[in-house]
């Protein structure tokens, strides 16, 4: 018998290698359900999942919702713009009210780092962090690791390059924690203004030039450039950014010939990734990431749900 020794999924940083492997292996078994004609199993009948999203999201929210529905759980979506948040209710009050309605799992995305941890300490329900500020996005890192394992057969020993805005990216942070834990060699590249000061303490090598980072890489993971950051004067223009940090036909040749290209979405075509790379089935695994995302989230729901002890 296997057990996930946790009530909540808050981040990859506090996850053990055994727990990551358990989640990935469980997710691999869930892949098949999405290929059936009847894409549903009765496992979580009678359980309810609340998706509490304080930030815009299409992919992640839909993915969690589909994952819940394929396991027969009831899923309820709440987005900040249509909830009592606009009437001034605090996060804690919202959470206490949701708790009183007895859901089993609450999935939360919030612009403040630590918001899921606050809920986890207050509520008896399982909390899944679907992205908190620039902190962590564990389910994204898990689906990325699943995709790498699926395409490369392993994670340990691979060179993985993360390119772009490392400082503001929760996807980068969770992936750095996860991939280094699983034995990959992680390198990052981005403008100095988008690089965390303590990057070297995270066990990765940092470059300013994209070309230096992707040399001989097995996996190239491009990060979304958050357009709203432009106002903060951390980069002059999208055009200049693209000149230096856009993955294209020319610079991808520096990576291994069988390298895979990943992107957590949503993509800014022509900014961080050129359309011909993004759409190249020979290297791009971006849609495989989305497909694996549903399986990973099914695995999280499955492993977290149980008795009420």
Partner 1 sequence: MTEKKSPKIVMDSNGIERCLTRIAYEILEKNKGMDNLVLVGIRTGGIYLAERLQKKISAIEGREIPLGILDITLYRDDIAKSKKKAPLGKTNIPFDLTEKKVILVDDVLFTGRTIRAAMDALIDFGRPKMIQLAVLIDRGHRELPIRADYVGKNLPSSLWEAVSVNFLEKSGRDEVVIEEET
Given the rule CB under 8 A, which residues bind partner 1? 1-4, 25-26, 28-30, 32-33, 36-38, 40-44, 46-47, 71, 302-303, 305-307, 309
Give 88 or 153: the residue with its C-beta nearer to partner 1.
Answer: 153
Length of the chain: 309
* Residue 77: Cβ within 10 Å count: 15
Q: How far is the CB of 46 from partner 1 (least distance, A)?
A: 7
| 144, two tokens | 């990325």
Give 26 or 174: the residue with its C-beta nearer to partner 1.
Answer: 26
DSSP-derived secondary structure letter, 235? S
Contact 220, 284 (CB under 8 A): no
Give 25 or 211: the residue with its C-beta nearer to partner 1.
Answer: 25
Q: How far is the CB of 41 from partner 1 (least distance, A)?
A: 4
Q: How far is the CB of 74 from partner 1 (least distance, A)?
A: 14
Backbone angles phi, psi at 163, to 5 degrees: -120, 130
Q: How far is the CB of 183 from partner 1 (least distance, A)?
A: 22
Give 198 or 309: the residue with its C-beta nearer to partner 1.
Answer: 309
Q: How far is the CB of 264 from partner 1 (least distance, A)?
A: 26
Give 25 or 240: the residue with its C-beta nearer to partner 1.
Answer: 25
DSSP-derived secondary structure letter, 189? E
Give whole-number Cα distances, 57 to 62, 94, 291, in Å: 8, 20, 17
Give 35 or 58: the residue with its C-beta nearer to partner 1.
Answer: 35
Cα–Cα nearest to 219, from 182, 194, 244: 182
Contact 191, 235 (CB under 8 A): yes
| 137, two tokens | 């996005």
211's enclosing H/E stretch is: helix 210-214
Q: How far is the CB of 104 from partner 1 (least distance, A)?
A: 9
């Amino acid at each position: 018998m296997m057990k996930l020794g946790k009530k909540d999924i808050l981040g990859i940083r506090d996850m053990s290698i055994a727990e990551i492997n358990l989640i990935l292996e469980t997710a691999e078994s869930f892949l098949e359900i999405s290929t059936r004609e009847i894409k549903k199993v009765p496992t979580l009948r009678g359980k309810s999942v609340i998706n509490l999203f304080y930030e815009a999201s299409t992919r992640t929210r839909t993915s969690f919702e589909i994952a819940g529905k394929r396991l027969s759980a009831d899923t309820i979506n709440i987005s900040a713009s249509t909830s009592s948040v606009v009437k001034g209710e605090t996060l804690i009050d919202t959470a206490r009210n949701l708790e009183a309605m007895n859901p089993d799992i609450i999935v939360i995305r919030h612009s403040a780092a630590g918001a899921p941890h606050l809920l986890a300490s207050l509520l008896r329900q399982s909390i899944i962090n679907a992205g908190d500020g620039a902190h962590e996005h564990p389910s994204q890192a898990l689906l990325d690791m699943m995709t790498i394992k699926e395409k490369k057969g392993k994670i340990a020993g691979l060179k993985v390059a993360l390119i772009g805005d490392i400082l503001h990216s929760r996807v980068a942070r969770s992936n750095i924690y996860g991939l280094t834990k699983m034995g990959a060699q992680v390198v990052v590249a981005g403008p100095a203004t988008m690089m965390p000061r303590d990057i070297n303490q995270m066990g990765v090598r940092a470059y300013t030039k994209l070309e230096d980072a992707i040399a001989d890489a097995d996996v190239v993971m491009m990060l979304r450039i958050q357009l709203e950051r432009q106002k903060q004067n951390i980069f002059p223009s999208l055009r200049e950014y693209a000149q230096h940090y856009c993955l294209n036909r020319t610079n991808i040749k520096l990576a291994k010939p069988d390298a895979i290209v990943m992107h957590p979405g949503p993509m800014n075509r022509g900014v961080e990734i050129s359309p011909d790379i993004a759409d190249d089935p020979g290297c791009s695994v971006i849609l495989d990431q989305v497909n694996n995302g549903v399986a990973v989230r099914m695995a999280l729901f499955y492993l977290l749900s149980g008795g009420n002890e």
